[in-house]
Amino acid sequence: MSAITELSELSGEYVLDTARTRIGFVARHAVGPHVHGLFEEFDGSARLDGDNPEKSGIQLTIKSESIQSRNKFRDNPVRAKFLDIKNHPDITFASTEVRQVDDTHFEVTGDLTMRGTTKALTLPVESTGGESDPQGDVRVGFKGSVLINRKDWGVKANPVDTLFVSSQVTVEFEIAAVRRP
């Protein structure tokens, strides 16, 4: 594989490489260690404009039912009560603005929709590079994390939140995407 160092060489339409992408979360638990988890099913696309990064954008759809924390006694209530997957099967993010901070850092603002509530959210994003693979495909990587209050999107089981998981949740992502031919 050969590294691509010029942002302008990365311009194009991309699809997520779901096998190499991770969308996860961490939340404090009232008793014991932090709760770590991830979403197993998602898809997305991106438009990268290396000459004018502000013209770039992303779309992401996550299947709510694919949430996993390796604890079925927690995951099943989270799916049913917190995320209400019957009525809200998807979590979506659609960018509305991209701002370049420096050579490798960006702020991506967009609309996050979860459990029927849409709110603006700004994600700090770091480019982890681009490269051409042996087949000639261009691949790019990005990573970042953002702290959200899940209750801002109506993600709560009841007034007591019986699962004792903090309302403050860190969403973490490592994105791999492949340029469409």
The parent domain of residue 49 ranges over 2-179
Mean pLDDT across 38-56: 96
Kindly tell me if the per-residue pLDDT of 163 is higher than 70.
no
pLDDT digits (tens, 9 = 90+) for 82-108: 889 999 999 999 999 999 999 999 999
Pairing of strands 57-63, 90-100: antiparallel
- At 53, is the secondary structure helix, strand, or coil? helix
Instruction: Using CB atoms within 10 Å of the CB of residue 102, give its burial: 0 to 12 exposed, 13 to 18 middle, 19+ buried.
Output: exposed
Q: Find all residues with CB under 8 Å of 81, minimum gap 6, and list them.
A: 157, 158
Instruction: Report how far apart, in Å, the C-alpha atoms of 151 and of each of 21, 32, 162 are.
Output: 26, 22, 14
Give the domain CATH number at 114: 2.40.128.110
SS (H, E, C) 119-158: EEEEEEEEEEEEEECCCCCEEEEEEEEEEEEHHHHCCCCC
Number of domains in the chain: 1
**Contacts of 19 by beta carbon, 8 Å cutoff, 6+ apart:** none
Q: How confident is the model at residue 29 (pLDDT cuts 50, 70, 90)?
A: confident
**What separation in angstroms does the CA of 86 have from each of 115, 119, 158?**
10, 21, 17
For 115-143, write each residue's pLDDT tens digit: 999 999 999 999 999 998 888 899 999 99
Q: 34 falls in which pLDDT band (50, 70, 90)?
A: confident
* pTM assigned to the model: 0.90
pLDDT of residue 1: 62
What does the pLDDT read at residue 19? 95
Mean pLDDT value across the chain = 90
Q: Which residues contact 33 (CB under 8 A, 6 or more apart)?
A: none
Look at residue 133 in the predicted model and tell me its pLDDT: 85
Q: Return the number of other C-beta atoms located less than 10 Å from residue 114's C-beta.
A: 24
- The predicted structure's pLDDT at residue 175: 97
Q: Return the higher-pLDDT residue of 58 and 69.
A: 58
